[in-house]
């Protein structure tokens, strides 16, 4: 029996229509386009304005895009992993609702939350299910409605985040393509530096927590930046060394789109030329769980069968890591 590897065989994506540009943000908080662009690389981000639509809406749209492009029957999907930091609601899984809404009624589903590393961790999980031989089609969705947790009076966070979703399908491969290696890590030291303080079991929602804006995302930007630069770069470099890869062997870097300076530092550590670094941060900002699949969707036309692709991410908690994957198809 041939060894089973888990390969990405299809990609889908969705971003809302409304564009929140740096120029518009200038009218909302004390900031300006030059300051934002210089420090983050972001020019605009997409926002889901509909008050009655949550992260599930973004996820459903991305999944439907993948299903339509790949021409697959939703009933053939075995399981769905919903990577998100902004579920529709507590307790009731967003992934379960998404599975039902897209017609994947033969699939079981659950949510996976590791902040901005959620999709990266989800790749590892999806691949493991496929490599076990137990499941044939695993749909991994990364989606976040970050605008629902952003305080638009806080210029340190509101300039960074946007809304969006992407999805990939993992299937068995017998040519040695797909996920090759991973280095995933976490460290609880990050708990106080990037968080939403209230709304969980530690500090339940109350009139006071709402008044104090404790249900919005808060971060110590300098500390998060320092850890992100070091750990994303370290993880990516380690994966290269462990697999005897040089910068010449790497075709593409797919980094989490949090800050252009973090991406540049990671690419620099890997000694990669700019043309190999895939970025769309200027158009979407940080969509958290949605960044990695949105990059794949935007640049799918460049990816060729057999390409060596390195993924890297860093998120709150702290969570981080890198994955080495061999691309499995040429876009038709």
Are 31 and 116 part of one and the same domain? yes
Report d(CA 10, CA 313) in Å as an integer: 21
pLDDT tens for residues 262-302?
999 999 999 999 999 999 999 999 999 999 999 999 999 99
Does some domain include residue 332?
no
Question: Is residue 323 included in any domain, yes or no?
Answer: yes
Q: Provide the CA 120 distance to its chain's centre, in angstroms.
A: 7
Number of domains in the chain: 2
The predicted pLDDT at position 248 comes to 97
Last residue of one domain, picked from the residues 139, 158, 177: 177
301 catalytically annotated:
no
Can you list the alpha helix ranges (DSSP code H) found in 132-258?
A: 155-158, 207-211, 221-242
Please indicate, yes or no, if residue 66 is contained in any of the structural domains: yes
Q: Which of 112, 142, 177 is the last residue of a domain?
A: 177
Q: Are residues 12 and 117 in the same domain?
A: yes
Residues 132 and 225 placed together within one structural domain of the fold: no
Same-domain pairing of 170 and 216: no
32 is catalytic: no
In this structure, is residue 216 part of a structural domain?
yes
Residue 13 lies in a domain: yes
Query: DSSP letter string over 260-311?
Result: HHHHHHHHHHTT--GGGB---HHHH-B-GGGHHHHHHHHHGGG--TT-EEEE
- Residue 127 included in any domain: yes
Whether residues 147 and 283 share a domain: the answer is no
- In a 10 Å sphere around its CB, with 0-12 CB exposed, 13-18 middle and 19+ buried, how is residue 220 labelled? middle
Distance in angstroms (rounded) separating the CA atoms of residues 224 and 284: 20
Contact 270, 284 (CB under 8 A): no
Distance CA 61, CA 64 (A): 5
What pLDDT tens digit does each residue of the chain (332 aa) get?
479 999 999 999 999 999 999 999 999 999 999 999 999 999 999 999 999 999 999 999 999 999 999 999 999 999 999 999 999 999 999 999 999 999 999 999 999 999 999 999 999 999 999 999 999 999 999 999 999 999 999 989 999 999 999 999 999 999 999 999 999 999 999 999 999 999 999 999 999 999 999 999 999 989 999 999 999 999 999 999 999 999 999 999 999 999 999 999 999 999 999 999 999 999 999 999 999 999 999 999 999 999 999 999 999 999 999 999 999 999 98
Q: What is the CATH number of the domain that holds 227?
A: 3.40.47.10
Check 116, 158, 259, 308 and give the catalytic one. Answer: 116
DSSP 8-state class, residue 152: T
Q: Are residues 86 and 223 part of one domain?
A: no
* 222 & 164 share domain: no
Tell whether 29 and 123 lie within a shared domain: yes
**256 a catalytic residue:** yes
Identify the domain boundary among 177, 201, 220.
Answer: 177
Query: Active site residue: 22, 216, 286, 308, which one?
Result: 286
Tell whether 225 is covered by a domain.
yes
Q: Same structural domain for residues 13 and 112?
A: yes
Q: What single string gives the DSSP state of each residue in 198-230? A: SSSSSS---HHHHHTTTTS-EE-HHHHHHHHHH
Question: Does residue 183 sit in the same domain as residue 172?
Answer: no
Distance (Å, rounded) from C-alpha 243 to C-alpha 227? 24
In this structure, are residues 301 and 151 in contact, taking their beta carbons and an 8 Å threshold? no
**The overall pTM is greater than 0.75:** yes
CA dist 42 and 257 (Å) reads 10
What is the rounded distance in angstroms from the CA atom of residue 202 to the CA atom of residue 192?
13
Alpha-carbon gap, residue 283 to 46, rounded angstroms: 8
Within a domain: residue 87?
A: yes
19 with 115, same domain? Answer: yes
Residues 234 and 314 in one domain: yes
Q: Which listed residue (158, 231, 256, 308) is catalytic?
A: 256
| Domain extent for 86 | 5-177
Cα of 84 vs its chain's centroid, Å: 8
């Amino acid at each position: 029996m041939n060894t089973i590897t888990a390969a990405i065989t299809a990609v889908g994506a969705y971003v809302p229509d409304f564009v929140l540009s740096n120029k518009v943000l200038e009218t909302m908080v004390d900031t300006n386009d030059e300051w934002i662009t210089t420090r983050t690389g972001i020019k605009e981000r997409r926002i889901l304005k509909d008050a009655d639509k949550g992260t599930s809406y973004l996820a459903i749209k991305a999944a439907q895009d993948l299903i339509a492009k790949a021409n697959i029957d939703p009933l053939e999907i075995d399981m769905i992993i919903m990577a998100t930091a902004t579920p529709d609601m507590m307790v009731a899984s967003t992934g379960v609702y998404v599975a039902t809404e897209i017609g994947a009624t033969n699939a079981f589903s659950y949510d996976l939350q590791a902040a901005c590393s959620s999709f990266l961790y989800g790749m590892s999980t999806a691949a493991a299910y496929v490599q076990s031989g137990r499941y044939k089609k695993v749909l991994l969705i990364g989606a976040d409605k970050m605008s629902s947790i952003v305080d638009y009076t806080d210029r340190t966070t509101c300039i960074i985040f946007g809304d969006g979703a992407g999805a990939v399908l993992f299937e068995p491969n017998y040519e040695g393509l797909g996920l090759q290696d991973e280095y995933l890590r976490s460290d609880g030291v990050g708990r106080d530096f990037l968080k939403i303080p209230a709304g969980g079991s530690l500090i339940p929602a109350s009139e006071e927590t709402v008044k104090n804006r404790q249900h919005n995302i808060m971060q110590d930007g300098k500390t998060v930046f320092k850890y992100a630069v070091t750990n994303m770069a370290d993880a990516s470099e380690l994966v290269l060394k462990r697999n005897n890869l040089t910068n010449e062997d790497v075709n593409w870097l797919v980094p989490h789109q949090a800050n252009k300076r973090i991406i540049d530092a990671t690419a620099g550590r890997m000694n990669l030329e700019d043309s190999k670094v895939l970025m769309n941060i200027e158009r979407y900002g940080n969509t958290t769980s949605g960044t990695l699949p949105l990059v794949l969707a935007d640049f799918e036309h460049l990816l060729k069968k057999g390409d060596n692709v390195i993924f890297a991410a860093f998120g709150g908690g702290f969570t981080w890591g890198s994955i080495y994957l061999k691309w499995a198809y040429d876009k038709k």
